[in-house]
Chain A
Amino acid sequence: MTKILLVLSAILLAFLTPAWGTEPVVIGAYLSMTGNVAAYGQMGWDGISIARKMEPEVLGRPVEVKLADTKSDKVESANAVSRLIEKEKVVAIIGEMISGNTLAGADHAERRKIPMVTPTATNPLVTQSRKYVFRVCFIDTDQGRIAAKLALDQLKAKTAAVILDMSQDYSVALASFFKREFTKGGGKVVSDTKFKTGDRDFTPQLSSIKEAKPDVIYAPIYYTECALLAKQARDMGLNAPILAGDGVQAPELIELGGEAVEGIYFTTHFHRDMVEGERGKKWLELFAKEVGKEPDAFTAMGADAYFIVVDAIKRAGSCDPQKIRDTLVATKEFQGVSGTITMKPNGDPVKAMVVNKVKDGKFAYVTTIMP
């Protein structure tokens, strides 16, 4: 009897003894590793992994990033966020890459008071009236304004045709901001057509755009649809320049589009030629060594989200989500990979915009536009 008691108490003690010091800091990441925008999630994850290699520890504890796949779907995004908060007990969340999914997941994080940093969700609604959701990128009101300016000043366009993805919050909002700014600047929107995510056939929409003879086509959509749209447009002899948003910066755009996507201008967050800070340069080196692919907006912004969260934990000196949130909102002049980030009280940063172009089968840097 005593022997059994001894054994039992030994086992009990073993369970009660706390693990000293090596308990990891758990951050969650909900990204679309599969589905229509799988490229973004995978690129974001690449960026985060390399960033983690660069800064694997904070406050003496290793950082662990738990990944949840949202399958490019809004419902899955909400589920992923709940899973990360309830099951994995994360102290902060990175994600999602697209506005629609971030809007779906942000509510839950807000309710449970876990800070969330989205790398590339640009829709203004994501941080509006939310205290726990932040982003490290610009917002679509600015993107639409700059795109309209580009169309009017650089491309000297007087008429524009807008084609948008009506099932994506990003596309719908950005298109409306562009239309507003373009008409304010004296341009005329001569065609306004829509399609649904996953549509592969744009010939009827393109035919009506061709009839309208626009000077520029504004397509604030994602890479697969943009590549196929460009291909079908060029095949039917529609040669108007195409202007797009940050949603098209994925290698698939060039793979699927081939020659048809040459000359597409787009506003985005990053190009390796504009990297200036220490952290950025080191990250670029490590990225080239470990991954070997070209780093672009989604990888760099994923890395920035990771860096900024880890920095906030460091400054807060604790892993309490509330303290992390308070230091996040006070971020000033943070040197990220994609530039300097100063967080405004509403969760949006003051950030420069980059204009890229597809040239010779690669993304070429054109210019940076200061906020």
Chain B
Amino acid sequence: MCSARKFYYECVFKYVREFGGTLPRGSLHFHAFQNESYRVKTAYLHAVLGPGNVDYGFVLQQIVFGLTLGCLYGLLAIGYTMVYGVLRLINFAHGDLLMASAYIAFFGIIIFQIPWPLAFLLSVALTAAIGILIDRGAYKPIRNSPRISALITAIGISFLLENLGLVAIGGRPKTFPTPSLFEGSQTIAGVQIPNLSIWVFLVTCVLLAGVMLIVRRTKVGMAMRALSRDMETVRLMGIDIDRVISFTFALGSGLAAAGGILWCMKYPAVEPFMGVIPGLKAFVAAVIGGIGSVSGAALGGLILGLGEIVIVAVWPDWSGYRDATAFSMLIIILLTRPTGIMGEDLPN
């Protein structure tokens, strides 16, 4: 039989030995095992992964939290990666779009008393508009300048957005009003899954599928892919690259807005500098996954989110090094495979 099946049987035997069972070889059915209780499954994992002082239910719980954080990073990272793919520009202002969307949703619900689904949609739409505005206002005029100018401009726009928020709204954190649909949690097999985590996962999957559909199956998506290969030729083909680039920014910013609203529901403190660290982590996620690749960004986000949470949970003495683990991953990826996990292989 193939090696995977052999491995599976080896594991089952270890488990059986651990519990003094007498199930003979070949009589164990996969489905029967699936119906076993949580306690038995934990024991199985214990047998497979080896003894240790870690309760595997605990690790599963951390995986749930890590996946949620990872999805949030992923949503933000997709925006970074798309803009880079099309313009070869790292849009450092992307994290601040998260902050902008949070504030728009907050003001929509609290001050204008708009029902929350409408406020969320409005926030996404307005953040996309802000993204287009940033592109037209700041990045378009320097499109033909050296890339370092664009980088510096991006950092400048980031400071502009942050300090605009600071001056206009003030530095004290505001509480984001989370609708009751997103509160509460389910407990499945001893693992507590917050409802918000389920929503985050669903929204991320839907949006990711949507983006991949747009990039692979539509004309605009084809134009985006072509732009990322060769901008001059695309111009020669008669495609209006300004519109395609604006569309890219709108899409990326819209995703950042979705990420921002979900982020605020998870961590309800809304303040002008809230986008700095998530933006940085999302950039790291995009690089890990392969900057320029949409699925890579999502994957990078998941790896980063999971890594952060699981490492701190399993080794609490290292909790002070939490951010360091994120940036160490960046360094390791840049040293070993600079184009990222899903990036193209560099010619040697």
Contact = CB atoms under 8 A, between A and B. Distances in A.
B322 A34 contact: no
Nearest to A43: B172
B269 A200 contact: yes
Contact of B185 (A198, A235, A252): A235
A195 B62 contact: no
B173 A201 contact: no
B309 A204 contact: yes
* Interface class of chain B by DSSP: helix
Interface string B170-192: 11111100000000010000001
A286 interface: no
B156 to A, nearest CB: 18
A305 B310 CA distance: 46
A262 to B, nearest CB: 16
Interface stretch (B143-151, B296-304, B312-320): B312-320
Nearest to A254: B175
A198 B316 contact: no
B171 A35 contact: yes
B171 A256 contact: no
A39 B172 CA distance: 6
B303 to A, nearest CB: 16
B166 interface: yes
A86 interface: no
Contacts of A195: 319-320, 322
A201 B69 contact: yes
B226 interface: no
B267 A201 contact: yes
Contacts of A204: 62, 65, 308-313, 316, 319, 322
A166 B320 contact: yes
Given A203-B309, A204-B62, A208-B313, A196 B323 contact: yes
B153 interface: no
B175 A256 contact: yes
B61 interface: yes
Interface string A41-54: 01000000000000
A193 B268 contact: no
Given A34-B166, A208-B316, A228-B267, A252 B173 contact: yes
A199 B62 CA distance: 17
A118 B274 CA distance: 28
A38 interface: yes
Given A195-B322, A235-B194, A203 B65 contact: yes
B239 interface: no
A255 interface: yes
B199 interface: no
Contacts of A194: 319-320
A207 B55 CA distance: 12
A39 B62 CA distance: 33
A201 B316 CA distance: 14
Interface string B185-212: 1000000101000000000000000000
B19 to A, nearest CB: 24
B62 A193 contact: no
B171 A193 contact: no
B268 A205 contact: no
B173 A205 contact: no
A355 interface: no
Interface residues on A, range: 35 or more
A195 B318 CA distance: 10
Nearest to A39: B172
A72 B166 CA distance: 13
Given A166-B320, A256-B268, A207 B58 contact: yes
Nearest to A199: B322
B23 interface: no
Contacts of A224: 173, 269
Nearest to B263: A200
- Which of B58, B268, B273 counts the most A-chain CB atoms under 10 A from its CB? B268
A34 B166 CA distance: 7
A70 to B, nearest CB: 11
Contacts of A71: 171
B267 A200 contact: yes
A255 B110 CA distance: 14
Interface string A204-216: 1101100100000
A256 B173 CA distance: 8
A211 B58 contact: yes
A27 B247 CA distance: 54
Contact of A193 (B166, B185, B319): B319
Contacts of B269: 200, 224, 227-228, 256
A365 B319 CA distance: 34
B215 to A, nearest CB: 30
B222 interface: no
Nearest to A257: B175
Contacts of B61: 207
A196 B185 contact: no
A228 B312 CA distance: 18
A228 B58 CA distance: 21
B142 interface: no
B161 to A, nearest CB: 15
Interface string B301-342: 000000011111100110110110000000000000000000
B160 interface: no
Contacts of A38: 170-172
Given A200-B267, A201-B267, A204-B65, 13 more contacts: A34-B166, A35-B171, A71-B171, A193-B319, A195-B319, A195-B320, A198-B277, A201-B266, A203-B313, A204-B311, A208-B313, A211-B55, A224-B269
10 smallest CB-CB distances across A and B, nearest first, come from: A34-B171, A38-B171, A204-B312, A200-B267, A208-B316, A204-B313, A194-B320, A193-B319, A203-B65, A38-B172
16 contacts: A34-B171, A34-B272, A38-B170, A38-B172, A39-B172, A194-B319, A194-B320, A196-B320, A199-B322, A201-B69, A203-B62, A204-B309, A204-B313, A224-B173, A231-B268, A256-B175
Interface of B: 55, 58, 61-62, 65, 69, 166, 170-175, 185, 192, 194, 266-269, 272-274, 277, 308-313, 316-317, 319-320, 322-323
